[in-house]
Amino acid sequence: MSEFKQYRRKQIAELRPVTIAEENSSATKLRSLGISVSPADIENGSPRRGDMIARNPKNHKDQWLVAKEYFQDNFESIE
């Protein structure tokens, strides 16, 4: 039996594209800027074009990388 359950998001997410400078840097550099990057994303070559940076709307210093594929599968613009 899995401990994981499915949940639907209730809030609006705030994301921005990875910049060219971030794309050309390392995950270590992003981490030094306060952006969390998971080991799985590092193994998959992030940061890279199409990745996004998400932030907590209630704490803008809380930021993390969202891989391109996950972003495309799970997010759409509300504009």
Residue 66 confidence (pLDDT): 97
pTM of the model: 0.87
- The model's pLDDT over 42-61, given as tens digits with 9 standing for 90+, comes to 999 999 999 999 999 999 99
State which residues of the chain have pLDDT below 70: none
Give buried/exposed letters for 51-66 (b at 16+ CB in 10 A, else e): bbbbbeeeeeeebbbb
Residue 2 confidence (pLDDT): 85
| H-type alpha helices, the chain | 20-23, 27-32, 39-43, 68-74
Q: With DSSP H G I counted as helix, E B as strand and the rest as coil, what are the percentages for the chain, rounded to 5?
A: 30, 25, 50
User: Within a 13 Å sphere around the CA of 57, how many CA atoms are in the beta-carbon half?
Assistant: 5
Residue 11 confidence (pLDDT): 85
